[in-house]
């Protein structure tokens, strides 16, 4: 199947996810600006904590992710406080493009965790609205949106097309899987552009805080 036709068939899933993202983020931002909710209290709630730590419950993947996090955090702080800006940026990029992107793909592949997707976007909007100087960091959620959003949509298309190939008008399950795999690969590579931009902004912010 040609790429343009694959992209056309993805419009429905991408459109729904885009609407969910906008509504979740906008409602969180509005709640923060109008002081209808407190970001710190919401982030500390059981539901948000469950959503944040969900991937650690996946057998095999969860323990590996925990080991990586225990290694990555002190390593990144060492680069930041050591003034190693380039190493810090590429570690952040690796964490976002490889590790976090893989986590987003795992969540989307299991489908059920996507029910918590609006919760995460609400918290993101709420936090941005109540963080001093947050407009300087606006590039980070924009970059993460472009990066993780593409990976999630690509994974959902791959899984849903394969499971419901007749519903999405594919001739066979094999054709649906191959088309979904092409779309996932394209979107995963496309996410690199957004995440590299976000990694640069995040690195500059961490460096600025380290010298205060």
- The answer as to whether 120 is a domain residue is no
Identify whether 123 is part of a domain: no
Residue 47 inside a domain? The answer is no
pLDDT digits (tens, 9 = 90+) for 162-210: 999 999 999 999 999 999 999 999 999 999 999 998 888 888 877 777 6
Q: Does residue 117 belong to any structural domain of this protein?
A: no
Give, in degrees to the nearest 5, the angle at Cα 149 between 51 and 130. Answer: 60
Nearest to 198 by CA among 150, 138, 120: 138
Backbone angles phi and psi of 165, in degrees to 5: -60, -35
Least confident range of 80-84, 132-136, 140-144? 132-136
| pLDDT tops 70 at residue 133 | no
Residue in 53, 44, 48, 208 with CA at minimum distance from that of residue 137: 208
**Rounded to whole angstroms, how far apart are CA atoms 94 and 209?**
21
Asked, for residue 46, whether it belongs to a domain, the answer is no
Q: Residue 86: how many CA atoms within 13 Å on its side-chain side?
A: 0
Question: Does 34 map to a domain?
Answer: no
Residue 4 confidence (pLDDT) above 70:
yes
Residue 122 lies in a domain: no
57: number of Cβ within 10 Å: 9
Most confident of 41-45, 126-130, 197-201: 41-45
In a domain, 49, yes or no: no
Q: Give the total number of structural domains in the chain.
A: 1
The pTM of the full predicted model, rounded to 2 decimals, is: 0.91
pLDDT at 134 over 70: no
Give the structural domain span for 81: 3-22+58-111+128-210
């Amino acid at each position: 199947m040609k790429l343009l036709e694959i992209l056309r068939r993805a419009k429905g899933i991408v459109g729904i996810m885009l609407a969910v993202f906008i509504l979740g983020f906008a409602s969180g931002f509005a709640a923060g600006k109008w002081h209808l909710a407190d970001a710190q209290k919401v982030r500390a709630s059981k539901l948000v904590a469950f959503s944040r730590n969900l991937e650690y419950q996946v057998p095999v993947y969860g323990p590996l992710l925990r080991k990586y996090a225990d290694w990555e955090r002190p390593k990144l702080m060492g680069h930041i406080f050591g003034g190693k800006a380039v190493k810090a940026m590429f570690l952040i990029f690796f964490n976002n493009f490889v590790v976090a992107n893989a986590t987003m793909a795992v969540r989307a592949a299991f489908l059920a965790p996507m029910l918590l997707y609006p919760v995460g976007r609400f918290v993101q909007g709420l936090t941005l609205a109540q963080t001093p100087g947050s407009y300087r960091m606006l590039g980070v959620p924009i970059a993460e949106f472009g990066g993780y959003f593409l990976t999630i949509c690509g994974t959902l298309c791959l899984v849903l097309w394969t499971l419901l190939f007749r519903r999405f008008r594919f001739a066979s399950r094999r054709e649906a899987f191959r088309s979904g795999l092409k779309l996932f690969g394209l979107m995963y590579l496309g996410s690199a552009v957004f995440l590299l931009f976000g990694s640069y902004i995040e690195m500059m912010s961490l460096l600025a805080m380290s010298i205060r």
